[in-house]
Amino acid sequence: MNTAIRKTTLALALGLLASGAAQAAGEAKNVIFFLGDGMGPVTVTAARIYKGEKEIAAGNTGKLVTSERATLAMQSLPYAARIKTFSRDAQTTDSAPSMAAYMTGVKMNNEVISMSAETAAYAPDGTQYIKGEDTTCPAGNGQPAVTLLELSKAKGRSVGAVSTTRVGHATPATTYAHICNRNAYNTIAEQSVDAGVDVLMGGGQRNYLPKAVNPSSRRTDTRNLVDEMKAKGYTYVSKGTELAALDTSKTTQLLGLFSQSEMAYELDRVNQKLDQPSLSDMATKALDVLSRNDKGFFLMVEGGRIDHALHGTNAKRALEDTLAFDKAIENVRAYMEKKDPGLKNTLIVVTADHDHAISFNGYTKIGSPILGKAIDYQTGKPALAADGKPYTTLVFGNGGRPTAADATSLVNAEDGNKPWVAPARGAGREDLSNVDTTQDNFLQEVNVNLGTPGSETHGGGDVMLFAGGAGAKIFKGTLDNTKVFGKVKEAAGL
**CA dist 316 → 50, 138, 264, 285 (Å):** 9, 42, 14, 28
Give the H/E segment covering residue 56.
helix 41-57
Please compute Rg for the chain using Cα positions: 22
Compute the C-alpha angle 97/162/118, nearest 5°: 15
Q: Would residue 95 show up in a list of annotated catalytic residues for this protein?
A: yes
Tell me if residue 346 falls in helix, strand or coil. strand
**CA dist 179 → 125, 138, 170 (Å):** 19, 10, 11
Q: Cα–Cα distance between 137 and 263 in angstroms, integer?
A: 28
Catalytic site residue from 67, 95, 114, 158? 95
State residue 267 phi and psi, 5-degree precision: -60, -45
Q: Cα–Cα distance between 176 and 467 in angstroms, integer?
A: 23
The amino acid at 328: A
State residue 451 phi and psi, 5-degree precision: 145, -135
Q: Nearest-CA neighbor of 290 among 217, 363, 201?
A: 201
Q: Cα–Cα distance between 42 and 34 in angstroms, integer?
A: 18
Q: Cα–Cα distance between 479 and 107 in angstroms, integer?
A: 13
State residue 469 phi and psi, 5-degree precision: 95, -160
Tell me if residue 411 falls in helix, strand or coil. strand
Q: Cα–Cα distance between 56 and 61 in angstroms, integer?
A: 5
Q: Cα–Cα distance between 147 and 366 in angstroms, integer?
A: 44
> 235 forms bridges with which residues in the sheet?
254
Enumerate the active-site residues.
95
